C-alpha cells in the first residue's frame, strides 16, 4: 500500500514515518512544502519525498499521484504572518480533500483535535471543525481522528512539559488546573495505520484520547518525579497571559494569541474514547512519560 502524508515534516508526520520505516508492506510519499524540510525526514528507500503546494487540488493530485491513502497532517495551532488558520487548516484541507477525490484514494485520514467545532467561538477549534466538514464531504472513504495533546519525540507538548518539569520553580497558565488526556504518539501512529488499512465507504469520526485524565499541574509534578526532580508550581493568571498574548501577537503578526491560550487551558473531555473501535491498547501515561524523558 502507498500512503501519501501531507505535512510530513510535522512532529506527527516525522513520528509516523519512523513508525512505517520498518514495515515492508508500505511505501510512503512524504509531502512537504520546501526542500529544506526534507532534511528533517527519516530516510528510507520506501519513503519518497515530494514537494507539494496547496494552491490547487489538481496540482496537489498530480504531486500525490499513486497514493492509495492520504494522511493529512498539515495544520497549525500557532499562526504567523505567512500561515493563518484559514490557509493552513481550512484551505489546505479543501485542496487535500479535492485531490483525494481526483485520485480516487481508498481512504483519507485527517488528524483533528478534541473540541473541533465549525460553530466554535474559538478560531482554532472553528477552523478544525470546518476542515472536518470538508473531509467528511469528500467523495471517498474518510476517517477523522480527534486528538488531545500529543506526547512523543519532538512534539511541542512533550518539550514544554519536560522544560517545566526540569525546573526547581516554574509558572504555568492558571497554575495548570485544566484537565488533559495526553495521548502517546505511538498510539496515534497505530490508529492512523489501522484507518489506512481499513476499507472505508463513508466518513467516520473518532475521538481518541490517552488512558488517564490529569490536570496539567499534576502532569508536571508526575514528570518531575520521574526525572528525580521536585518543582514548585506558580500561576500566570489566564487574563494576564491573554493580555500579553494579544499585545505580543499584534506586534509580531503571529505567535501565542488569546485563542491559543484558550485552546491550551480548555479541559480535554471525551465521552466515548475510540481506543476499542480502533483496536488499540493505550500506552499507560507513565510509560509515555518515561519515553519522552528518554528522548529529550
Ligand X SMILES: NC(=O)c1ccc[n+]([C@@H]2O[C@H](COP(=O)([O-])OP(=O)(O)OC[C@H]3O[C@@H](n4cnc5c(N)ncnc54)[C@H](OP(=O)(O)O)[C@@H]3O)[C@@H](O)[C@H]2O)c1
Query: Is 264 in contact with 236 (CB distance < 8 Å)?
Result: no
Sites for ligand X among residues 33-92 (CB under 6 A)? 33-34, 37, 54, 73-76, 83, 87-88, 92
Query: Is 4 in contact with 31 (CB distance < 8 Å)?
Result: yes
Residue 73 CB, nearest distance to ligand X (Å)? 5
Residue spans of beta strands (DSSP E) within the chain: 2-6, 27-32, 47-51, 69-72, 107-113, 142-147, 150-151, 169-173, 179-180, 183-184, 203-207, 214-215, 232-236
The answer to the question of residue 11 lying near ligand X (CB under 6 A) is yes
The answer to the question of residue 141 lying near ligand X (CB under 6 A) is no
Using alpha carbons only, give the angle 126, 214, 234 rounded to the nearest 5 degrees: 90
Nearer to ligand X, 14 or 221 (CB): 14
Query: Is 146 in contact with 206 (CB distance < 8 Å)?
Result: yes
Distance in angstroms (rounded) separating the CA atoms of residues 210 and 183: 4
Residue 100 CB, nearest distance to ligand X (Å)? 15
Sites for ligand X among residues 150-169 (CB under 6 A)? 150, 155-157
Nearer to ligand X, 98 or 157 (CB): 157
Binding window for ligand X (CB under 6 A); candidates: 32-40, 96-104, 159-167, 232-240: 32-40
The answer to the question of residue 288 lying near ligand X (CB under 6 A) is no
Residue 75 CB, nearest distance to ligand X (Å)? 2
The answer to the question of residue 9 lying near ligand X (CB under 6 A) is yes
The answer to the question of residue 10 lying near ligand X (CB under 6 A) is yes
The DSSP annotation for 203-252 comes to EEEEE---S--EEHHHHHHHHHHHHT---EEEEE-HHHHHHHHHHHHHHH
The answer to the question of residue 95 lying near ligand X (CB under 6 A) is no
Residue 96 CB, nearest distance to ligand X (Å)? 9
Q: What is the 8-class DSSP label of residue 254?
A: S
Residue 212 CB, nearest distance to ligand X (Å)? 16
Nearer to ligand X, 156 or 247 (CB): 156
Q: Which residues have C-beta within 8 Å of that of residue 238, sequence separation ≥ 6?
A: 173, 174, 261, 265
Nearer to ligand X, 108 or 149 (CB): 149
* Residue with the CB atom nearest ligand X in the bound state: 75
Half-sphere CA count of 219, side-chain side, radius 13 A: 29
Residue 66 CB, nearest distance to ligand X (Å)? 21
Nearer to ligand X, 73 or 173 (CB): 73
Query: Is 18 in contact with 152 (CB distance < 8 Å)?
Result: no
Nearer to ligand X, 10 or 143 (CB): 10
The answer to the question of residue 12 lying near ligand X (CB under 6 A) is yes
Cβ–Cβ contacts within 10 Å for residue 286, how many? 13
Q: How many residues bind ligand X (CB under 6 A)?
A: 25
Cβ–Cβ contacts within 10 Å for residue 229, how many? 13
Residue 116 CB, nearest distance to ligand X (Å)? 9
Residue 211 CB, nearest distance to ligand X (Å)? 16
Contact positions vs ligand X (CB under 6 A): 7, 9-12, 33-34, 37, 54, 73-76, 83, 87-88, 92, 111, 113, 147, 149-150, 155-157
Amino acid at each position: 500500500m502507498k500512503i501519501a502524508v501531507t505535512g510530513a515534516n510535522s512532529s506527527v508526520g516525522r513520528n509516523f514515518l519512523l513508525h512505517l520505516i520498518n514495515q515492508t508492506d508500505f511505501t510512503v510519499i512524504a509531502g512537504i512544502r520546501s526542500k529544506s524540510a526534507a532534511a528533517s525526514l527519516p530516510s528510507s528507500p520506501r519513503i519518497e519525498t515530494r514537494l507539494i503546494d496547496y494552491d490547487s487540488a489538481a496540482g496537489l493530485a498530480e504531486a500525490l499521484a499513486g497514493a492509495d491513502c492520504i494522511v493529512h497532517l498539515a495544520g497549525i495551532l500557532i499562526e504567523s504572518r505567512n500561515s493563518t488558520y484559514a490557509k493552513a487548516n481550512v484551505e489546505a484541507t479543501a485542496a487535500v480533500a479535492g485531490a483525494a477525490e481526483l485520485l480516487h484514494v481508498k481512504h483519507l485520514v485527517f488528524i483533528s483535535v478534541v473540541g473541533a467545532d465549525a460553530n466554535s467561538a474559538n478560531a482554532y477549534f472553528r477552523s478544525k471543525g470546518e476542515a472536518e466538514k470538508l473531509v467528511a464531504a469528500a467523495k471517498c472513504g474518510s476517517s477523522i481522528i480527534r486528538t488531545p495533546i500529543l506526547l512523543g519525540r519532538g512534539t511541542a507538548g512533550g518539550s514544554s512539559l519536560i522544560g517545566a518539569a526540569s525546573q526547581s520553580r516554574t509558572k504555568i497558565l492558571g497554575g495548570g488546573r485544566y484537565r488533559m488526556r495526553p495521548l502517546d504518539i505511538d498510539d496515534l501512529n497505530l490508529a492512523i495505520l489501522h484507518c489506512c488499512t481499513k476499507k472505508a465507504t463513508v466518513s467516520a469520526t473518532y475521538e481518541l484520547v490517552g488512558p488517564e485524565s490529569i490536570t496539567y499541574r499534576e502532569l508536571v509534578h508526575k514528570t518531575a518525579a520521574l526525572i528525580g526532580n521536585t518543582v514548585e508550581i506558580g500561576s500566570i493568571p489566564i487574563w494576564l497571559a491573554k493580555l500579553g498574548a494579544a499585545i505580543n501577537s499584534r506586534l509580531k503578526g503571529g505567535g501565542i494569541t488569546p485563542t491559543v491560550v484558550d485552546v491550551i487551558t480548555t479541559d480535554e473531555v471525551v465521552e466515548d474514547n475510540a481506543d476499542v473501535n480502533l483496536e488499540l491498547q493505550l500506552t499507560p501515561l507513565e510509560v509515555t512519560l518515561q519515553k519522552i524523558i528518554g528522548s529529550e
